[in-house]
Amino acid sequence: MGKTSAVIRLGYVHLRVTDLEDARNHYSNTLGMEVVHEEPGKLWLKCWDEWDHHSLVLEEGGVGLIKAGYKVEDTEALADFEHRSQQFGATTGRFSAGENHKVGDGVRITLPSEHTLELYTDMEFVGTDTGAINPEAWPRNARGVGTHWIDHALISVDDPPLIERFMTEVLDFQPAERAIESIEHPNLIGSWMSCGESPHDLAFIKGPNGKLHHFAYHLEDWGAILRAGDIFSMDDVPVDIGPTRHGITRGTTIYFFDPAGNRNEVFAGLGYRVHRDFPTINWTADQLAKGIFYHARELNEAFTSVFT
Ligand SMILES: [Fe+2]
């Protein structure tokens, strides 16, 4: 049975983009995030239903993931995760308040997959756009897609069993769903891992170390997914696949690309809750395409080849 993790959720994604103004237009006008801070070559953004200062940092120069931040409960949990990471053999470091704009002290972990994960306890609280007293259902002035919050990230790793072990043994995540070679040869290909009740807070599939497959925004429902697809056509956003449904997590989805080529997802329909006694679901490789794209039942070329 899974342990309760002291990791609360994905807090921020820090991303490289080739052109900051193109990225501003995509994330702010098309997706509807608000630019909350800027410095030369960098932008900080948040979604309307997020209460901390930001959830996305964009940095001009290249493409791909610089790091991802996960918020944890308290400083005791931070120290515990730091210690357990070191015992596992991962490289760790400390960062101080202010090193990340509006973020407090934290622990930086280099995963065995070469991804940088930052754990922190505090980010400046600003509140959601609808507030916490008698809130309206949604903000009337939302732009574009009107993404609610950044929900999860999917990264690529060369050694899936090692990373699943790290996430389980060090950070107390539990696998909600897994992709394996076959029942007879259960070699791990990918894992969708949860630190709370959401089907996945961090997922990974077999691929090159250090790379990002996508990060995803939560939307309300299938209608909102369809409307997002309409806006992507209006704004000439390259769509990878969808609107469709994932077998894995049962989420409805569109994969699309930002102007730099980083893959984004809009995602609705949290298919179930991951309680601590949730029995892990396994997908065998022969049915994996159905697990990923439930209707088409085949993987497109980009899905398996584009990592940034
Ligand atoms: Fe996703």
Residues 6+ apart with CB under 8 A from 169: 84, 88
Q: What does the pLDDT read at residue 2?
A: 64
Query: Which of these, 202, 55, 58, lies nearest to 128 by C-alpha position?
Result: 55
pLDDT tens string 180-196: 999 999 999 999 999 99
- Measured in Å, how far apart are the chain's first and last C-alpha atoms? 34
Instruction: With a cut of 90, say whether residue 11 has pLDDT above it.
Output: yes
Q: How far is the CA of 215 from the centre of ligand 1 (A)?
A: 6
pLDDT tens string 224-249: 999 999 999 999 999 999 899 999 99
Instruction: With a cut of 90, say whether residue 52 has pLDDT above it.
Output: yes
Out of 54, 213, 218, 246, the active site residue is 246
Residue 285 CA to residue 178 CA, distance in Å, equals 10
Q: What does the pLDDT read at residue 271?
A: 80
Average pLDDT, the chain: 96
Mean pLDDT of the region 283-305: 90
Q: What does the pLDDT read at residue 1?
A: 58
Q: How far is the CA of 255 from the centre of ligand 1 (A)?
A: 8
Q: How far is the CA of 107 from the centre of ligand 1 (A)?
A: 25
Q: How far is the CA of 214 from the centre of ligand 1 (A)?
A: 7
Residue 292: enclosing H or E segment and its boundaries? Answer: helix 288-292
Q: How far is the CA of 201 from the centre of ligand 1 (A)?
A: 9
Annotation says 152 is catalytic: yes
Out of 148, 213, 214, 218, the active site residue is 214
Residue 151 CA to residue 27 CA, distance in Å, equals 15
What count of other Cβ atoms lies within 10 Å of the Cβ of residue 89? 9
Q: How confident is the model at residue 302 (pLDDT cuts 50, 70, 90)?
A: confident
State both tokens at 149. Answer: 């919050």
pTM, to two decimals: 0.97
Q: How far is CA 301 from CA 72, 150, 241, 248, 305, in A?
A: 37, 26, 11, 19, 6
CB 157 within 8 A of CB 207: yes
Q: How far is the CA of 40 from the centre of ligand 1 (A)?
A: 31
Out of 26, 53, 152, 218, the active site residue is 152
Q: What does the pLDDT read at residue 12?
A: 98
Annotation says 37 is catalytic: no
Surrounding ion ligand 1 within 5 Å at CB are 216, 265
Annotation says 246 is catalytic: yes
pLDDT tens string 193-205: 999 999 999 999 9
Residue 254 CA to residue 239 CA, distance in Å, equals 7
Q: How far is the CA of 275 from the centre of ligand 1 (A)?
A: 20
Q: How far is the CA of 21 from the centre of ligand 1 (A)?
A: 26
Out of 200, 213, 217, 218, the active site residue is 200
Annotation says 115 is catalytic: no
Query: Which of these, 262, 207, 246, 226, lies nearest to 56 by C-alpha position?
Result: 262
pLDDT tens string 98-133: 999 999 999 999 999 999 999 999 999 999 999 999
Mean pLDDT of the region 33-62: 98
Instruction: With a cut of 90, say whether residue 270 has pLDDT above it.
Output: no
Residue 180 CA to residue 187 CA, distance in Å, equals 5
Q: How far is the CA of 288 from the centre of ligand 1 (A)?
A: 15
Beta strands in the chain (DSSP E): 7-17, 34-39, 42-46, 56-60, 64-72, 91-95, 106-110, 116-120, 149-157, 174-180, 188-194, 202-206, 211-218, 239-245, 252-257, 263-268, 281-284
Mean pLDDT of the region 11-22: 98
